[in-house]
């Protein structure tokens, strides 16, 4: 698929609510490319086998669009000359995000989707991501590195008998190698597309990395709240749970279960704990805030060398 994406009879379904408060304004600044990206992604997903098409369309409609948004915003900030392949390349980044997200959902029973079907959905999106950018080797190489890092971080789990600090490092490394690495890639590729200098590319990559850390940490608060509200049978270890375990009188029991069950805790056990939402929320927001501060530091390094206004809108 090459060239500019033109809307035919199929209309893009609206993206789900974004984590970014200023997303409507950002989206307006990124026109027409962000809308063309939506059309490209939607049209490509409609080519999926019927068995998984509806699920893929539903997942894509709820996407946060951080990856394509950051790529396009970085290109715009860097003064890149408009190119017809921007929508296609940014759609490739969103497809990769969807693939990683769906593979990570395995075992959580989300959407009532069997594990085998979730694997097929993720694999389709991996293939879609790479095929959309197959003619741009640097995109393919960057995506392959993110896939490798994400897979390694997911399986490099603390074993039985590991302490809480090991699980805390595991959670942070999983975010760093997954969500954060993907946003770092989006910024780095945007800098490459704008032909920025190496030091600018590196600063933007670190900006994207810490941005990804901060947003994923904040997202974990709402994910835990949703799982508790829906009375999920198993809860995946994340930063809010690290806080709850650390302050629980049943800490050793929970740690033993984490090691035995591959990083999962019985939802019933966690719901039986006496904890306040505001406590773990404050803790996680403080960690996320430190990540956003680092993102600001790297963005400030670029003062005078590119337009930072649109990129600063992504910081929480």
pLDDT at residue number 49:
92
The two three-digit tokens of residue 137, written as one number: 């080797």
Cis amide leading into 155 (omega within 30): no
* Cβ contact 65:15 at 8 Å: yes
pLDDT at 304: 87
Residue 135: phi and psi, rounded to 5, are: -85, 5
Q: Which residues on neighbouring strands pair with residue 234, listed in sequence order? A: 266
Cβ neighbourhood burial of 50 (10 Å; 0-12, 13-18, 19+): exposed
Percent of the residues in the chain that have a pLDDT greater than 70, as a whole number: 91
Residues paired with 266 in a beta bridge: 234
Strand partners, 264: 236
pLDDT (0 to 100) of residue 273: 87
What's the start-to-end Cα distance of the chain, in Å?
A: 35
Average pLDDT, the chain: 88
**Residues 194/74, Cβ–Cβ less than 8 Å:** yes
Beta carbons of 111 and 58 less than 8 angstroms apart: yes
Q: Does residue 297 surpass a pLDDT of 90?
A: yes
Q: Mean pLDDT across the stretch 277-304? A: 93
Give the model's confidence band at 10: pLDDT under 50 very low, under 70 low, under 90 confident, else very high.
very low
pLDDT tens column, 165-221:
999 999 999 999 999 999 999 999 999 999 999 999 999 999 999 999 999 999 999
């Amino acid at each position: 698929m090459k060239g500019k994406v033109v809307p035919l009879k199929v209309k893009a379904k609206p993206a789900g609510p974004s984590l970014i408060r200023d997303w409507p304004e950002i989206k307006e600044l990124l026109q027409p490319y962000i809308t063309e990206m939506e059309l490209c992604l939607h049209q490509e997903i409609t080519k999926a086998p019927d068995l998984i098409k509806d699920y893929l369309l539903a997942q894509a409609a709820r996407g946060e669009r951080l990856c394509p948004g950051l790529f396009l915003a970085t290109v715009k900030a860097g003064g890149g000359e408009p190119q017809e392949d921007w929508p296609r390349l940014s759609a490739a980044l969103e497809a990769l995000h969807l693939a990683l997200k769906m593979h990570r959902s395995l075992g959580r029973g989300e959407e009532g989707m069997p594990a085998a079907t979730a694997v097929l959905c993720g694999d389709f999106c991996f293939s879609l991501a790479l095929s959309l950018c197959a003619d741009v080797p640097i995109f393919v190489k960057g995506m392959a590195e993110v896939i490798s890092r994400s897979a390694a971080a997911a399986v490099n789990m603390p074993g039985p008998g590991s302490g809480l600090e090991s699980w805390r490092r595991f959670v942070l490394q999983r975010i760093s190698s997954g969500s954060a690495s993907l946003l770092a890639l989006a910024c780095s590729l945007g800098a490459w597309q704008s032909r920025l200098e190496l030091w600018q590319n590196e600063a933007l990559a670190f900006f994207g990395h810490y941005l990804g850390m901060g947003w994923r940490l904040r997202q974990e608060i709402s994910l835990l709240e949703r799982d508790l509200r829906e009375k999920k049978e198993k809860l995946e270890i994340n930063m809010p749970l690290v806080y709850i375990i650390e302050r629980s009188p049943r800490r050793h029991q929970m740690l033993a279960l984490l090691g035995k069950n591959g990083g999962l805790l019985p939802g019933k056990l966690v719901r039986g704990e006496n904890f306040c939402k505001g406590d773990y929320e404050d803790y996680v927001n403080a960690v996320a805030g430190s990540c956003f501060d680092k993102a600001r530091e790297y963005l400030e390094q670029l003062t005078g060398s590119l337009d930072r206004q649109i990129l600063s809108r992504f910081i929480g």
